[in-house]
Structure 1
Amino acid sequence: MTNRVRYKNFDQLSFADLLVYSKLPEHPFWSCVESKIDFSFADTLCAVLYTGMGQRPYAPSLKLKVHLIQAYYVLSDRLVEEKIIGDLFIKRFLQVPVDFFGFDHSTIGLDRTRMGEAMFRACHLYILAQMYSHGLWGDKNEQWIIDSFPTSIHMVRRGAYRLIKHAMIRLVQHLRKQAPKPVRMAAESLPLDAMGVRLSSAATSADFMLAYSKLVAQAYGLLQWFNNENIKPLLEDWKGYSRSQELQAILIRILEENSRPVDPDHHGTKTDLPADVQFEKTPYDKRPKDRIESAVDPEARTAFKRSKATTGYKTQNLCTTEGVILDIRTVPANEHDQDATADMVATLQHFFGQTPAALLGDAAYGHGRHRMKLARQGIQVVAPVQQSPNPTGLFQATRFTYDVDKDIFICPNGEQSVRRSHSPKLEGTQYRFAKKTCLACPLYTQCTHSQSGRSVFRSDYANLYEQAQAYNESLAGQADLLKRYVVERKNNELKNDCGLGLTRTHSRATLQLKALGAAMVVNLKYMVRKLLNPKPGFLRHARSALG
């Protein structure tokens, strides 16, 4: 396909520019990156983002370098603008004149948004392909490692009342600012006074119930207004209505998760409920676990691990045992670690035709379902097998012997299980022993406290776990499990050196862009260390610098 887009160029650098740049020593990082990576792929890749008409844009290859500079130094858009203006090493890397100061911080932010996740991921894959051509990864017996780390966004967790109000305010503000004039005029008649109610500290529970019920009722009325037969024709001329539909969907879900109608038949039995209340808060234990907690960041979630809460997201990092980051994903904090793994590996198999000899992970990636899914992709999972000790401290399940032929368990006293029941939810079978046999057993007090007899659970993936445990205990398995320290080091670099541990943004889409930029920078650092030996430094002697 012919690229018809023509980009801005700076023609040939002036003699004064060349003289200044020639006096600079080689930069230990940027000069090496420029000599090893060809960034021209971005000009063709991102051509679809431009029409080829009007004012010529800056070349995408130039702007990709700007985003890499931002990720390398962990700078805001404004500080990147200052960095480009005042740093000669950066100007030389960008191949712009010494007196160039044309980049505006808003341009940098808009370009990042225009490229989006798909383009950033494509750029990451192109750089990864060039590293592959340099022989930095892709060996036949190469092993990959996967792990995750929390990315906290310091999100404010609101109660049900404030959450609904906030979602309504965002929808109404978008309506008033972006809708055509006929739509705005029609919306003036909407009753929305409940959004402005502020309850004092002296308000009673009855006052709060009334305010909450009125707010929910007006929220449903606002949503119903968009479906009114007289309003629908007006919405057809609203080009930005798709964003309004997104905000409506967020509000609907928040209402469904946090409120419920009061049953009129039982209204009189609740003496503490005012007569005018139509809606009430859904009890906390009745709300879904995967509920929205912020109207601004509807994808953010809260997860608890070892009594520590993480509000926001977590970053999945897939890398080689040598330290090359192959893929990186930003997922909600409560998403299970193993959920994104198969797709991440499949992406690399599709683009590069590479399948690792083994995928290393911690116990979170060792579930049987996860092992079977990756086995179908031709991948062996090496991860610790989670043990489920008996919480009562009595006989562990390992004291019972499983007879494969008879499909029964034999207890330490030699008795056999008499019945079994399979649980699709638990993905396993519960084997039960006879009540009379257990109560008469001399080992009863050491085995169970149950008056109904002992039961033993066997997972549907028990054979997989036994094979995995046997490999983990072998010398080869022990050596493989020790290789996981590499991903811990890479996680530390992404979190602390690249700023993913403490971010200035909230949305998952923006965090994903920052994560991909950080992954590209970490890979470029790895490439410089491997391809240039000894490690480069500043050459301070003029003759050496010019030579």
Structure 2
Amino acid sequence: MTFSVRYKTFDQLSFADVQVYTKLPPHPFWSHVDSKVDFSFADRLCAVLYSGRGQYPYAPSLKLKIHLVQAYYGLSDRQTEEKIIGDLFIKRFLQLPVDFIGFDHSTIGLDRSRMGAAMFRACHLYILAQMYQYGLWGDRNEQWIIDSFPTNVNLKFPGAYRLIQHALIRLAQHLRKHGTKPMLEALEALPLDGATVRLSKSASASARMLAFSKLVSQAYGLLAWFENENIKPFLAEWKHLKRSRELQAILRRILQENSSPVDPGDGADEASEGRNEETGTNVPELVRFQKIPLAERPKNRIVSAVDPEARIAKRSKTIYGYKTQNLCTTGGVILDVRTIPANEHDQDATADMTATIKRFFGVTPSALLGDSAYGHGRNRARLAALGIPVVAPVPIAENPTGLFHSSRFVYDAEKDVYICPEGQQSVDKQYIRQSEGHQYSFAPHVCLSCPSRKACTSSEKGGRRVFRSDYADLYEAARVYNDSLTGRAELQEWLVVERKNKELKNDCALDGARTRSRVTLQIKAQTSAMVVNLKLLVRKLGNPKPGFLRRAPIAVG
């Protein structure tokens, strides 16, 4: 199916424009990009976004260039607008008249939303294909590298009380903005004053508990309002119902993760107050919901009502929001970038990222390099199914008690038993699903009489246990390869990805991005990857080598 879409053109540049542009020396980056990369693919690719009727839109190839300029300099939308107005090098790259000032900052933002993350990913793949044609990547013996880095976002992460308020307010505002008149009239009878109550720092514990219980009760009341038989007829043909259900789901999950009903069996039915074990204070009788202690809340809980996909990961350094996965070649070409929640394990997205590039280009790397986060057995097995070996450090399972390490126990594959240093065999095994392996146990009466007991196990009545992973054979093969000269050399190649991470994070301003959405952050990561790849293309193919010329060449006649 073809789409007949005509794009707005600027006609031929005037003589004055040509004079100005010819006086400018070649730009060390944009001039080389313009001569090496064909951006016309964006006009065909994005034609599906336009109807072909009405006012002609600006060409997607032009707008893609604008987004690349923004990523190259790390600019906001308003700064990008100013850059286009006042920078002649950029105007020449965009092929705009010198006096053109038509790109408003809101137009840039709306176009980013119109294209979406999928279109920007497709544009990245098209540029990657041109680099493949130039021979910059795709060699048969090429190796790929993967790593992640923190991408903190500009979000507020409030406590449970404010979090519930935010989710409740967002749902109520959506109703008031898009609801029909009968819906708004029915909504007026619903008490929602708890959403606007701000408690002072000097408020008592009882007052805080009452306010929290009231807020949760009203939030559940609003959710029940949507299920009311008198309200359902109004929702049947409401065109904003889908978004409303999304906001309801967010509010309901936040309530479940942060609040719980007060148990009426605590003595509150016989007295006006009951005892709250968390705070050590009396619970007023009106309290029906209480705050779940922080340690008991789910680790994967929603921490922001604005962006429910954001997470907080507390490790050596706390990550607020997301991480960016970077898949690149040892030659420095970025193949894919993926924005993942901060608490997601690095290895989870690896197989899908590599499979996507392999499927699009039919290229299989000789190996995938990574740090210890990518050396887990599950990740190795997934990539082995794709025909890609993993070169990464093997996770070390240290014995925290300081007793005999499991490596001192010999596994007999024929008998499927472990043999301890004293020559005794394990007598039982049990599968542990969460750890993906079997736990082998030695007979307690044998261990109790063993001379090495104190150096082997701290159990007073039971026997020693040894764990064997489902991926033990993969781990053993990886250890042997990593200790070889070839393996050590390949592990050193992994450092290439650190330079690419630095370009994405610092030069393209991915760290501390001005965004509060995973989708927008993914788009920014895609445009940054395109810019980093274009920099590499210019360095490799620029002839003469890129360098700023102080004056235009003088014709000799």
1:182: which partner in 2?
182
Distance in structure 1 (CA, Å) of the matches to 2:554 and 2:452: 83
Distance in structure 2 (CA, Å) of the matches to 1:61 and 1:168: 41
1:475 partnered with 2:479:
no
Distance in structure 2 (CA, Å) of the matches to 1:256 and 1:460: 36
Does structure 1 retain, via aligned residues, the 8 Å contact 2:259–2:290? yes
Distance in structure 2 (CA, Å) of the matches to 1:418 and 1:545: 90
Residues 516-546 of structure 1: CA deviation (Å, up to 9, x unaligned): 0000000000000011245221233433589
Residue identity opposite 1:459 in structure 2:
S
Q: List runs of 5+ in structure 1 lacking aligned partners.
A: none
Distance in structure 1 (CA, Å) of the matches to 2:339 and 2:8: 34
Distance in structure 2 (CA, Å) of the matches to 1:143 and 1:114: 35
- State the shift of 1:185 in Å: 2.5
- State the shift of 1:247 in Å: 1.2
Residue identity opposite 1:436 in structure 2:
H
1:457 partnered with 2:483:
no
1:499: which partner in 2?
509
Distance in structure 2 (CA, Å) of the matches to 1:357 and 1:187: 62
Does structure 2 retain, via aligned residues, the 8 Å contact 1:23–1:546? no
1:238: which partner in 2?
238
Distance in structure 1 (CA, Å) of the matches to 2:237 and 2:347: 44
Helix, strand or coil at the partner of 1:164? helix
Distance in structure 1 (CA, Å) of the matches to 2:5 and 2:163: 46
Q: Given the alignment, which residue of 311, 323, 328 partners 1:314? A: 323
- State the shift of 1:236 in Å: 3.8
Kindly report which structure 2 residues correspond to 1:116-515, keeping only aligned pairs within 5 A, or say none. 116-268=116-268, 270-271=274-275, 272-306=282-316, 308-451=317-460, 452-515=462-525
482-491 or 168-177, which moves further after superposition? 168-177
1:56: which partner in 2?
56
TM-score (norm 2): 0.95
Residues 159-184 of structure 1: CA deviation (Å, up to 9, x unaligned): 21111111111111122123233322
Give percent identity, aligned residues only. Answer: 68
- State the shift of 1:445 in Å: 2.0
1:536: which partner in 2?
546
Residues 431-466 of structure 1: CA deviation (Å, up to 9, x unaligned): 122223222222222222221232111111111100
Distance in structure 1 (CA, Å) of the matches to 2:476 and 2:369: 17
- State the shift of 1:281 in Å: 1.5
TM-score (norm 1): 0.97
Helix, strand or coil at the partner of 1:521? helix
1:35: which partner in 2?
35
Distance in structure 1 (CA, Å) of the matches to 2:452 and 2:285: 61
Helix, strand or coil at the partner of 2:217? helix
Q: List runs of 5+ in structure 2 lacking aligned partners.
A: 276-281
348-357 or 106-115, which moves further after superposition? 348-357
Does structure 2 retain, via aligned residues, the 8 Å contact 1:151–1:314? yes
Quick one: structure 1 residues 61 and 429, their matched pair in 2 at CA, closer, same or farther if it must change by over 3 Å? same
Aligned residues: 546
Quick one: structure 1 residues 267 and 259, their matched pair in 2 at CA, closer, same or farther if it must change by over 3 Å? farther
Helix, strand or coil at the partner of 1:144? strand
Residue identity opposite 2:176 in structure 1:
R
508-517 or 147-156, which moves further after superposition? 147-156
Does structure 1 retain, via aligned residues, the 8 Å contact 2:24–2:551? no
- State the shift of 1:299 in Å: 0.6
2:537: which partner in 1?
527
- State the shift of 1:74 in Å: 0.4
Distance in structure 2 (CA, Å) of the matches to 1:181 and 1:62: 43
Distance in structure 1 (CA, Å) of the matches to 2:553 and 2:463: 87
- State the shift of 1:304 in Å: 2.0
2:94: which partner in 1?
94
Distance in structure 1 (CA, Å) of the matches to 2:89 and 2:552: 16
Residue identity opposite 2:30 in structure 1:
W
Helix, strand or coil at the partner of 1:305? coil
Distance in structure 1 (CA, Å) of the matches to 2:452 and 2:146: 44
- State the shift of 1:237 in Å: 4.5
Distance in structure 2 (CA, Å) of the matches to 1:493 and 1:315: 13
Does structure 1 retain, via aligned residues, the 8 Å contact 2:330–2:496? yes
Residues 299-344 of structure 1: CA deviation (Å, up to 9, x unaligned): 11011223x2111100000000100000000010000101111111
Helix, strand or coil at the partner of 1:98? coil
- State the shift of 1:158 in Å: 1.5
RMSD: 1.6
Residues 365-407 of structure 1: CA deviation (Å, up to 9, x unaligned): 1111111111111111111001111111121111111111111
Quick one: structure 1 residues 438 and 139, their matched pair in 2 at CA, closer, same or farther if it must change by over 3 Å? same
Distance in structure 2 (CA, Å) of the matches to 1:541 and 1:281: 69
Does structure 2 retain, via aligned residues, the 8 Å contact 1:26–1:545? no
Does structure 2 retain, via aligned residues, the 8 Å contact 1:46–1:115? yes
Helix, strand or coil at the partner of 1:421? strand
417-426 or 334-343, which moves further after superposition? 417-426
Quick one: structure 1 residues 545 and 39, their matched pair in 2 at CA, closer, same or farther if it must change by over 3 Å? farther
Helix, strand or coil at the partner of 1:542? coil
